[in-house]
Amino acid sequence: MSLLTHPLIKNGWFKEVNNESFPGQAFSLRVSKILYAEKSKYQDVLVFKSTDFGNVLVLDGIIQCTERDEFAYQEMITHVAMFAHGNAKKVLIIGGGDGGVLREVVKHPSVETATLVEIDDMVIRIAKKYLPNMSCSFENDKVNVVLTDGFKFLKQVAMDSGRYDVIITDSSDPEGPAEAFFQKDYFQLLYNALAPNGVVISMASENIWLNINKLGHLRKVANEVFPVAKISNCTIPTYTSGQIALLCCSKDPQLDVSKPSRALPRDQEIKLFKYYNSQIHQASFILPTWADQIIYERAGC
């Protein structure tokens, strides 16, 4: 069998195309070698070595991360929430089986426990083998991994009166098992699982160049549950259109998530992070005028 034989790979190129979330556009990466290709109980899983972006994880035909640029997304979805809160001790990650968010969470000395809830254990297993720089914190003493559905876990948290300071939803796109993470019932579960000053952040799937009305609707739905719900932007070349939006919410109506409650000296930021810093934290919430008007339903000029 050829090293490049796979339905999603043709003439040596992986192409992300014909996805309902990204109408009228496609994205391609040149493939060096297929490393893993199986169907788990929940999704199609593909890992390949690219010629320019390192190893690449693909779920259901959509790129989840590449070794070359993963840090941009992992750092922003983690540190925007963590620094907005300022002193998170108990952190919950829904999804994120590749370990990238977990790696970033445990960089915060305030963290006492980091619980990762992943429904598909295959993602964790292949990340440990093919994405070692992302999956390097699974053995950290602060980490607890729970293999279950995120919805079920959050319902149990409410029953047990458990509360988290920060909850990070690092799901795949809203098709298949991740679809429920983009609905009002899920935001209500998040709200119930948070401490009074808690912060949540979620991958929003869309960005302002894709279906901006869908992105605005998602923020509006979250705002029906949370008093604070804001959109942040992260640039990352291997996500469609080169950007991904993040939805950051606070249970505390007085907390402005667009401003870090705690910031590090510049030399420490450089040591710990490649992408995140306190300035980009604030700047990521500033949207182009037309996008701001649509997402926040502001009146035009």
pLDDT by position in tens, the chain (length 301): 356 788 899 999 999 886 666 778 889 999 999 999 999 999 999 999 999 999 999 999 999 999 999 999 999 999 999 999 999 999 999 999 999 999 999 999 999 999 999 999 999 999 999 999 999 999 999 999 999 998 889 988 877 767 999 999 997 554 554 456 567 888 999 999 999 999 999 998 788 998 899 999 999 999 999 999 999 999 999 997 899 999 999 999 999 999 999 999 999 999 999 999 999 999 999 999 999 999 998 755 4
**Whole-number Cα distances in Å, 204 to 32, 37, 113, 247, 285:** 30, 27, 25, 6, 14
Domain ranges of the chain: 9-66, 70-295
Q: Is 98 one of the annotated active-site residues of the chain?
A: no
Q: What is the pTM of this model?
A: 0.93
Handedness of CA 98, 104, 107, 110 (dihedral sign): negative
Integer Cα distance of 50 and 40 in angstroms: 22
Look up the CATH number of domain 70-295: 3.40.50.150
Q: H or E element: which one contains 85?
A: helix 70-85
Give the closest residue to 189 by CA, choosing from 160, 151, 144: 151
Q: What is the DSSP string of 94-132?
A: EE-TTSHHHHHHTTSTT-SEEEEE-S-HHHHHHHHHH-T
Residue from 121, 170, 173, 252 carrying the catalytic annotation: 170
Strand 164-170 relative to strand 90-95, pairing: parallel
pLDDT at 172: 56
Q: Which two tokens stand for residue 185?
A: 């019932």
Query: Would you state the CATH architecture of domain 9-66?
Result: Roll (2.30)
Give the closest residue to 62 by CA, choosing from 201, 200, 159, 203: 203
Q: Which two tokens stand for residue 179?
A: 């679809």
pLDDT at 174: 46
